[in-house]
Amino acid sequence: MQFDRASGVLLHLTSLPSLYGIGDFGKEAYNFVDFLKRSNQKLWQILPLNPPDQGGSPYKCLSAFAGNTLLISIDKLIEDGLLRAEEVTNVPKFSETKVEFPRVIKFKNELFLKAFNRFNLLAESDEHAKFKEDNEYWLLDFCLYMALKEYFDNRVWNQWHLDIAFREKQAIEKYQSELADKIHYQEFLQYIFSKQWSELKNYANHNGIKIIGDLPIFVAHDSSDVWVHPELFDLDDKGNPRKVAGVPPDYFSKTGQLWGNPHYNWKCMQEDNFLWWRKRFEKIFKQVDIARIDHFRGFEAYWEVDASEKTAERGKWVKAPGYQLFSSIKQYLGELPIIVEDLGFITSEVNKLKVNFGFPGMKILQFSFDEKTPIKLGLDDYEKHCVVYTGTHDNDTLLAWYRGLRQSKNMRVLKILEKYYGINSGMSEKQVCWTLIEAVYRSKANFVITPLQDILGLGNEARMNYPGTVGGNNWLWRYKKGDITQEMEEKLATFVEKYNR
**If you average pLDDT over residues 469-495, what whole number do you get?**
96
Give the pLDDT confidence score for residue 55 in this predicted structure. 84
Over 70: is that where the pLDDT of 372 sits? no
Amino acid residing at 187: E
Q: Which residue has the higher pLDDT, 471 or 359?
A: 359
Distances (CA, A) of 92 to 82, 105, 108: 21, 12, 11
Report yes or no: 166 and 237 within 8 Å, Cβ to Cβ.
no
Q: What is the DSSP string of 213-278?
A: EEE-S---SSSHHHHH-GGGB-B-TTS-BSEEEEE-S-SS-TT-EEEEEEPB-HHHHHHTTSHHHH
Report yes or no: 49 and 62 within 8 Å, Cβ to Cβ.
no
Amino acid residing at 317: W
Pairing assessment for the beta strands 6-10 and 338-340 based on DSSP bridges: unpaired
Distances (CA, A) of 166 to 65, 270, 489: 21, 23, 54
CA distance 469 to 253: 9
CA distance 192 to 171: 29
Give the pLDDT confidence score for residue 367 in this predicted structure. 87
**If you average pLDDT over residues 457-466, what whole number do you get?**
97
Distances (CA, A) of 127 to 123, 204, 252, 379: 11, 21, 46, 48
Looking at every residue in the chain, the average pLDDT score rounds to 95
Over 50: is that where the pLDDT of 134 sits? yes
**If you average pLDDT over residues 255-260, what whole number do you get?**
91
Give the pLDDT confidence score for residue 186 in this predicted structure. 99
Q: What are the phi and psi torsion angles at 355 (to 5°)?
A: -65, -40
Closest to 22 (Cα-Cα) out of 77, 102, 88, 104: 104
CA distance 171 to 224: 16
**If you average pLDDT over residues 299-316, what whole number do you get?**
96
pLDDT-based confidence at residue 375 (cuts at 50, 70, 90):
very low
Please report the sign of the dihedral spanned by the C-alpha atoms of residue 478, residue 481, residue 486, residue 487: negative
Q: Which residue has the higher pLDDT, 1 or 299?
A: 299
Please report the sign of the dihedral spanned by the C-alpha atoms of residue 197, residue 202, residue 205, residue 206: negative
Q: Which CATH superfamily is domain 6-216+284-301+325-495 in?
A: Glycosidases (3.20.20.80)
Give the pLDDT confidence score for residue 378 in this predicted structure. 53
State the catalytic residues: 294, 341, 394
Give the pLDDT confidence score for residue 374 in this predicted structure. 47
Q: What share of the chain is helix, strand, coil (3-state, %, to 5)?
A: 45, 10, 40
Pairing assessment for the beta strands 315-319 and 301-306 based on DSSP bridges: antiparallel
CA distance 463 to 391: 10
Name the pTM for this structure: 0.96
Q: What is the DSSP string of 125-164?
A: PHHHHHHHHHTTTTHHHHHHHHHHHHHTTT--GGGS-HHH
Distances (CA, A) of 113 to 11, 94, 106, 169: 29, 21, 11, 29
> For the chain, what are the domain ranges?
6-216+284-301+325-495
pLDDT-based confidence at residue 369 (cuts at 50, 70, 90):
confident
Give the pLDDT confidence score for residue 368 in this predicted structure. 84
If you ran DSSP here, which 8-state letter would residue 53 be given?
A: -
pLDDT digits (tens, 9 = 90+) for 161-193: 999 999 999 999 999 999 999 999 999 999 999
Amino acid residing at 314: R
Report yes or no: 209 and 41 within 8 Å, Cβ to Cβ.
yes
Report yes or no: 493 and 40 within 8 Å, Cβ to Cβ.
yes
pLDDT-based confidence at residue 251 (cuts at 50, 70, 90):
confident
pLDDT-based confidence at residue 12 (cuts at 50, 70, 90):
very high
Give the pLDDT confidence score for residue 379 in this predicted structure. 58
pLDDT digits (tens, 9 = 90+) for 406-439: 999 999 899 989 988 899 989 999 999 999 999 9
Give the pLDDT confidence score for residue 380 in this predicted structure. 64
Give the pLDDT confidence score for residue 449 in this predicted structure. 98
pLDDT digits (tens, 9 = 90+) for 53-77: 888 999 989 999 999 999 999 999 9
Over 70: is that where the pLDDT of 373 sits? no
Give the pLDDT confidence score for residue 53 in this predicted structure. 87
**If you average pLDDT over residues 114-138, what whole number do you get?**
97
Over 60: is that where the pLDDT of 376 sits? no
CA distance 192 to 293: 26
> Maximum distance among all alpha carbons in the chain?
73
pLDDT-based confidence at residue 362 (cuts at 50, 70, 90):
very high
**If you average pLDDT over residues 140-146, what whole number do you get?**
99
pLDDT digits (tens, 9 = 90+) for 30-52: 999 999 999 999 999 999 999 99
